[in-house]
Structure 1
Amino acid sequence: METRSENSKPWSISKRFFTLLSIYFAFLMVDFTSSDELFPHFVYVFPFPDLIRLTEPYGESTPMGLAWTFVGYSSGYNLFTGGAEVLAGILLFYKRTTLFGSLVAMTVMANVVAMNFAYDIPVKIFSLNLLIMAAWIAWYDKDRLINFFFLNNVADPSVITYPYHTKWKKIVQLSLKSIAILFALYSTLYSDLNMAKEYGDAAPKAPLYGIYDVKTFNLKGELLAPLTTDSTRWKRMIIGYPGYARITKMTDSNVWMKLKVDTNAKTLKFTSTKDSTNQYILAYKKLGKDQLIVKGLVGKDAISIQFKQFDHTQLNLVKTGFHWINEYPNNR
């Protein structure tokens, strides 16, 4: 229980530094949920693996890409990890819960640091610094922690002191703290909601969004056979990101093109990402739900391509949902 004599003790430099560090770290933990390269994003969850990721072999992905796919698959996991970071930040704002908040932060950041180092993800040093800061804050109560966890002794309650003792000063301090916490939460939620609308699963899909496999490819009136050595014939076109398309040739080489879809004129304008002067406009026509025909001139050569849209919702990663009980391990 606090006494007047305890509250009357002047704050030492170390005590002031500890308090400032705790508050600074609390802001970082809340803001970290909208700036980390892996975990975080309390509202804006990492988007579900895109069409490019769903169709490329495991071996073609980088370690970070593999981790990004793992995290992005589950919105629940995103909310859990991001929510834990926000919880740690809120707990660190209050003296009575600072120790608990630092322990939660250590747990969360240990996982983040392990992922960043194990999967070659950026911000390794920054996340490691946050882990060290959380450990340092917890170390302030090292004697109580050692007694509780290792020596089976009674952990004495910590002495909580406050810099202000008059009523109006306490009210001002509490008001400023509340405003700071609300601002931190608001800025994080606002940023994440905007990111979700622009980059998340709720973001607008590109016109003609989908995976299109080439069925027939006519160049200058000649039907090209699907030979794996042909570097001219297209094999697949993926329209995933708004404004872009990825074209895969029969040799499995990929070419990124800027794409402008005019749904009124029914045209596709392709522009090379490397040479803006290399562009061509093709007319398109949809037949049924999964047929697409594209015709026009590429330079001086007439081209006609018939596509069949691949139903990516039938991929195991997309269609396999949650099961309370699994009769057999679905490990494929």
Structure 2
Amino acid sequence: MNKLSFLITAIKTYIGLYVLIYIFPFPLHHFPYGSMYITQPIDKVKGSLNLFVGKYILGFEHLEYVPMNGSGDTTLDYISILSYALLAILILIPILILVRNRFKLNLFYKFILVYMRYFVGLTLISYGVIKFLLGQFPGPSYLALESSYGDFSPMGLAWRFFGYSDLYKAFMGISEILAGVLLLFRTTQLLGALIAIAVTTNIFIVNLSFDVPVKLFSGHLLFFSILIALPYLRALIDFFLLHKASMVSTIKYPLYNKKRKFAYWGAKVYFVGIVPLGMLIGHIQSQEFRTYPNEWEGVYEITEYQLAENEASGRFSKWEKIIIQGKSIICVNTNRDREFYSIDNIWNEGELNFLSQHDQEQPFTLKINELESGAYSMAFELGERYATFLTRRKLKEDYLLMNRGFHWVNELPFNR
């Protein structure tokens, strides 16, 4: 093995080790009880490694391992990149000393390419499916419609921008599912990788542009997609830049006996069929926790206060509007401060029970009554405190953003 060949093999082996450390224990959490008994303990071990590197190598004193909280860009997540890179070097050195067979090292890297294909593919399928359901990019809520543009975080602005258009969400979802499905098959992996590069580049740039705390993970998805396409770089240059005839070779697995064939097709059916189907069912089942039928949803703007003398200057007198959406009641005062309550039950004839805390024993009561004039009477009972308001109800179709609609023909731009 000459020096250049040895260097290329060493780099590929190092990348393969880093990818393996980063992705593992995927896909074990897809097996029954795999998350509880395998994935979570391994994640804790990886977290302990990251804590060690952070505290004793980088000098961070106040670090602690916190399970996934929605952010993938915590201090410990950045430290994990260094700790995985260092661990890959420590494993690489004895491998290069002990394993002199270049074929085995190249075979390991080919296995890692397959591993990445399934990881990126199943991740993108999961991302794509949730675009068609309530979750990642919800449509404009009443609270969002009543919020000031300047009060949104960059991430909140991006989420509401994408969530507004069902068509655009469907476009993103189809693109992600298409890339993911194509990556799961050898014959379509190059096309899947090219689409995945486009899709993950968009995701990564959005995360950078709007400070979405999934920058590291989306960056890795883009990196893995590039690695999957990289073996075909020569053919791509010949075809797209040099306009030469080029051929993409098909990867063949050495399935010499029935056991290998059975294991291969069993794994294929499981990860190409059962796992995506399980993810789809899981996402659909999660919808019952995201939706809550509530006929009283809307924004109720207070037009008249009917308060007892002792409440004339109290907190009720400062309420400006009451927002009801799903399981939430949000009371907004003149300073735009908000009080959040959770609906416990909705009874007939407009009676709602709601709580300020989950462990509250006696729920509060709100009675809503539609008057002949079209106004709404709202009677609150919060313990021993009472207040009644006359309100004007706004529904989503009363907002320009929601009622403007789509127009093929626009004689003038309508940019407000």
Query: TM-score normalized by structure 1?
Result: 0.81
CA distance, structure 2, for counterparts of residue 194 and residue 288 of structure 1 = 41
Amino acid at match of 2:402: V
Aligned residue number for residue 131 of structure 2: 41
Aligned residue number for residue 341 of structure 2: 257
Q: Give yes or no for the alignment of 1:318 onto 2:413.
A: no
Further displaced range: 265-274 or 152-161: 265-274
Aligned residue number for residue 20 of structure 1: 115
Aligned residue number for residue 233 of structure 1: 318
Structure showing the higher helix proportion among its residues:
2
Task: Quote the offset at 1:190 in angstroms.
Answer: 1.2
Q: 1:1-332 residue pairs with structure 2 within 5 A?
A: 12-33=107-128, 40-44=130-134, 46-165=137-256, 170=261, 173-174=264-265, 176-199=267-290, 203-220=291-308, 232-242=317-327, 244-264=328-348, 266-273=350-357, 276=360, 280-288=364-372, 290-295=374-379, 298=382, 302-332=386-416
Task: Quote the offset at 1:113 in angstroms.
Answer: 0.6
Residues 287-330 of structure 1, C-alpha deviation per residue, up to 9 Å, x if partnerless? 24842213365565552211121233121211122223332222
Amino acid at match of 1:18: L
Amino acid at match of 1:211: V
CA distance, structure 1, for counterparts of residue 117 and residue 261 of structure 2 = 19
Q: Contact 1:42 / 1:79 at 8 angstroms: preserved in 2?
A: yes
- Give the match's secondary structure for 2:140: coil
CA distance, structure 1, for counterparts of residue 337 and residue 399 of structure 2 = 23
Amino acid at match of 2:218: S
- Give the match's secondary structure for 2:286: helix
Task: Quote the offset at 1:239 in angstroms.
Answer: 0.5
Q: Contact 1:231 / 1:251 at 8 angstroms: preserved in 2?
A: no
CA distance, structure 2, for counterparts of residue 18 and residue 205 of structure 1 = 46
- Give the match's secondary structure for 1:33: helix
Query: TM-score normalized by structure 2?
Result: 0.66
Task: Quote the offset at 1:260 in angstroms.
Answer: 3.9
- How many positions carry a matched residue from both structures? 312
Further displaced range: 285-294 or 75-84: 285-294
Q: Contact 2:292 / 2:326 at 8 angstroms: preserved in 1?
A: no
CA distance, structure 2, for counterparts of residue 18 and residue 267 of structure 1 = 59
Further displaced range: 259-268 or 131-140: 259-268
Residues 29-71 of structure 1, C-alpha deviation per residue, up to 9 Å, x if partnerless? 223436xxxxx53555732111000111111111111111111
Q: Contact 2:122 / 2:276 at 8 angstroms: preserved in 1?
A: no
Show structure 1 runs of 5+ residues with no match.
Answer: 1-8, 35-39
Residues 89-143 of structure 1, C-alpha deviation per residue, up to 9 Å, x if partnerless? 2111222211111001000000011111111112211111010000011111111
Q: Contact 1:234 / 1:248 at 8 angstroms: preserved in 2?
A: yes
* 1:282 to 1:241, Cα distance in 2 relative to 1, 3 A: closer
Residues 240-269 of structure 1, C-alpha deviation per residue, up to 9 Å, x if partnerless? 131x21111123222112334542375444
Q: Contact 1:221 / 1:302 at 8 angstroms: preserved in 2?
A: no
Q: Contact 1:238 / 1:246 at 8 angstroms: preserved in 2?
A: yes
CA distance, structure 1, for counterparts of residue 296 and residue 373 of structure 2 = 11
* 1:238 to 1:297, Cα distance in 2 relative to 1, 3 A: closer
* 1:245 to 1:159, Cα distance in 2 relative to 1, 3 A: closer
CA distance, structure 2, for counterparts of residue 172 and residue 109 of structure 1 = 31
Query: After the TM superposition, which parts of structure 1 deviate over 4 Å for at least 4 consecutive aligned residues?
Result: 42-45, 165-172, 221-225, 273-280, 296-302
* 1:324 to 1:174, Cα distance in 2 relative to 1, 3 A: farther
CA distance, structure 2, for counterparts of residue 170 and residue 289 of structure 1 = 74
CA distance, structure 2, for counterparts of residue 185 and residue 115 of structure 1 = 26
- Give the match's secondary structure for 2:299: strand
Structure showing the higher strand proportion among its residues:
1
* 1:173 to 1:279, Cα distance in 2 relative to 1, 3 A: closer
* 1:94 to 1:245, Cα distance in 2 relative to 1, 3 A: same
Q: Contact 1:216 / 1:223 at 8 angstroms: preserved in 2?
A: no
Amino acid at match of 2:156: G
Show structure 2 runs of 5+ residues with no match.
Answer: 1-102
CA RMSD after TM alignment? 3.3
Further displaced range: 313-322 or 41-50: 41-50
Q: Which has the higher contact order (CA 8 A, sep 6+)?
A: 1
